[in-house]
Structure 1
Amino acid sequence: MRAYFYVALLLLLLFGGISGYLYNTFSTLASMDFTPPPVRVAVATAREETWPSTLAAVGSIRATRGVNLAAETSGEIINISVNSGEQVVAGQLLLTLNDSVEQASLRRARANLVLARQLFERDASLIRQQSIPQSQLDRSRADLDVAIASLAEIEAQLDNKRIVAPFAGSVGIIDVKRGDYIENGTAITTLQDLRELEIDFSVPARHFPSLRKGLPITVRTASSDRSYAAILEAVDVAVDPGTRNLALRAALQESDGLLPGMFAELRIDLQQPRQVITLPETAVSYSLQGDTVFAVEEDADGLLVNPRVVKTGVVRDGRIAISSGVMVGDRIASVGQNKLYRGARIVAEDNPPAFTQ
């Protein structure tokens, strides 16, 4: 019996020691503070700014004077007077087709005109002497008119054998060569006056009341980092029934570095400034549930943040317009939101060296 007593006493002491150790351990843990440390974030203040009302669009650049040159008649090319990419002046000869038949017809028409004029002048002299009837003079006058018309017809045919520049500009790549036989309408090259360019584009028809001739436009292209100035030149008088878009045309104020056919991004200044509440663009977190910001609040223990769903607008120079959810003067976490949650304690840094807004 005594042996059992000692065993029971030993077990009691053993379990008592373990229980005491566990009690001390859990008491120590219970007295410890496991609250996460404050999160260091950058904070920005919502402010009111005056922003211009703008309208974005895309379009295609074209030359104010630009044409695709084609032949008006068929024939063999006997001469090409310019090179691809060359500058030409208005009226300069570009290409000549075989005109040997027309040249022979021209010489015959000129000879017929000389003869018809001589006969008319002789008959006009004889009619004054009353040596011939009036009908003969009328026939001579008609023959003279026919000869003049025939000569004009031959000269017009000769003109169709020559392609000339309708205005000064730059010749594109010439797609034909000497000796080629071309048909009526065959494309030869393009002629573009690169000194004056314009942009054709369209916007939804609902913006028509805000549009008027003369509005300033900022233009950007993929070919350059610079911006180009343009002016709204024309607004179409009808809406496309297929797209419900309204066609517009803008005139570029400068053309250096631009070519017809380039894609352009446009921003039209509607000249209707408006007051907006803005924040740094980095302050907004985007998600499927909605755009969110973390608003800084203060209580007895310090600063904390809570999320707010906001409605955002356009972005301009790194700042974003907020149309609802934020008031002027509200302090919003602008950098470091990925570490935040509802009720998180923070250390606010209005101008932290480690952050850039």
Structure 2
Amino acid sequence: MRAYLYVSLILLVIFGGISGYLYNKFSVLANTDFSPPPVTVAAATARMETWPSVLQAVGTIRAVNGANLAAEASGEVTNISVASGQEVEAGQLLLTLNDSLEQASKRRAEANLVLARQLYERDESLIKQKSIPQSQYDRSRADLDAAVASIAEIEAQLGNKRIVAPFAGRVGIIEVKAGDYIDSGTSITTLQDLSQLEVDFSVPARHYPELRAGLDIAVRTASSEQTFAATLQAVDAAVDTGTRNLALRALLSDSEGLLPGMFAQLDIDLDQARDVVTLPETAVTYSAQGDTVYVVTNDDEGLLVMPRVIRSGEVRDGRTEIRSGVESGERIVSVGQNKLYRGARIVLEENPADFTQ
């Protein structure tokens, strides 16, 4: 009996020691702070700015004087007077078609004209003497007019055998060669006056009340880092019923380095300044579920952040327009959002100037 008592006492001491050890262990763990350490982030203050109202569009650059030259008559190319890419003057001969048949017709018509003029002059003198009937005089005068008209007709045919520059400019790639037989309407080359270019573009018709000639436009192309200035010249008188877009045309002030046919991006200054709340572009987290920012708040324990869904707008010079969700003066996390969650404790970067501009 005494042995059982000793064994029970020993077991009680052992289990009591174990229980005491576990109690102390769990007491230490219970009093340990397992909350994550504060996250170091940079913050920016939402501010009110005045932005010009800008309408964006895309368009195509064209020459004010530009044309695709084609043959007006059929025939064999006998002479090409210019080279591809050459600068030409207005009226300069570019290409000649075989005109031997027209030249022969012209010589015959000139001979007929000489005869018709002689007969008319003779009958004119005779009619004054009343030696011939009036009908003969009228016929000789009609023959003279017909001979003159025949010469004019042949000269027009000869003109169709010659392609001349309708204005000064640069010739494009010549698509025919001497000896080729071409039909009427065959494309020969393009002629572009690069000294003055314009941009054709379109915008949704709902913007019509905001548009007027004289608005300033900034034009950018993939071929140059330069921004080109343009002025809105014309607004179409009707809306395209297929696209419901309104066609517009702008004149470029400086076209150095640009070519007709280039794609252009346009920013149209609508001359209507507006006040907007802005944040650094890095402060906004974009997602399909909605754009989010982390707003900096504080409580008795320090700074913390809370996510907030916002509606963002345009981006200009590294700053994003906030259309709703943020008020001017609120502090927003601008760098380090990927480490944050709702209610996360934060420490602000000591020198966040590089992040809050």
Please indicate the TM-score interval, normalised by the length of the shorter structure.
over 0.9
Q: Is the 8 A contact 2:45 2:356 kept in 1?
A: no
Letter of the structure 1 residue corresponding to residue 149 of structure 2: A
**Residue number in structure 2 paired with 1:174:** 174
CA distance in 1, matches of 2:145, 2:104: 20
Superposed displacement of residue 126, structure 1: 2.1
* Structure 2 partner of 1:347: 347
In 1, distance between residues paired with 2:354 and 2:115? Answer: 99
Kept in 1: contact 2:44–2:356 (CA 8 A): no
- 1:235–1:247 Cα contact (<8 Å) kept: yes
What residue in structure 2 maps to residue 108 of structure 1? 108
Q: Which runs of 5+ in 1 are unaligned?
A: none
What's the CA shift for 1:48? 0.6
Do the aligned partners of 1:43 and 1:350 also contact (CA within 8 Å) in 2? no
Percent identical = 74
- Aligned residue runs from structure 1 range 118-129, under 5 A: 118-129=118-129
The equivalences for 1:236-247 within 5 A come to: 236-247=236-247
Question: 2:97 aligns to what?
Answer: 97
> C-alpha distance in 1, partners of 2:289/2:151?
81
Q: Taking structure 2 as the reference length, what is the TM-score of the superposition? A: 0.96
Number of the residue aligned with 2:137: 137
- Residues 85 and 173 of structure 1 are in contact (CA less than 8 Å); yes or no, is this contact kept in structure 2? yes
Does the C-alpha gap of structure 1 residues 120 and 354 become closer, same or farther in structure 2, counting only changes over 3 Å? closer
| Shift in Å, 1:95 | 0.6
2:32 maps to 32
Are 2:206 and 1:206 aligned? yes
SS in 2 for 1:326: coil
Q: 1:354 to 1:210 in 2, by over 3 A?
A: closer
Quote the residue 1:303 is aligned against: 303
What is the distance in 2 between the residues matched to 1:194 and 1:346? 59
Partner of 1:312: 312
2-side partners of 1:231 and 1:349: how far apart?
46
Task: Determine the C-alpha separation between the residues in 1 that align with 2:87 and 2:132.
Answer: 60
The one-letter code matched in structure 1 to 2:142 is A
Instruction: Report the CA distance between 1:4 and its aligned residue.
Output: 4.0
> For 2:225, what is the secondary structure of its paired residue?
coil
Give the 3-state SS of the residue equivalent to 2:59 in structure 1.
strand
The residue type paired with residue 224 of structure 1 is: S
Shift of 1:133: 2.3
Task: Report the alpha carbon displacement of residue 289 of structure 1 after superposing the two structures with TM.
Answer: 2.6
SS at match of 2:49: strand
Mapped contact 2:46–2:277 kept (Cα < 8 A): yes
CA RMSD of aligned residues (A): 1.5
How many angstroms apart in 1 are the aligned matches of 2:273 and 2:347? 37
CA contact (8 A) 1:291 1:312 kept: yes
The residue aligned with 1:195 is 195
Q: Separation in 2 of the partners of 1:70 and 1:296? A: 69
Question: What's the CA shift for 1:343?
Answer: 1.4
Q: Distance in 1 between matches of 2:339 and 2:71?
A: 71
Measure the CA separation in 2 of the matches of 1:140 and 1:354: 97
CA distance in 2, matches of 1:94, 1:63: 20
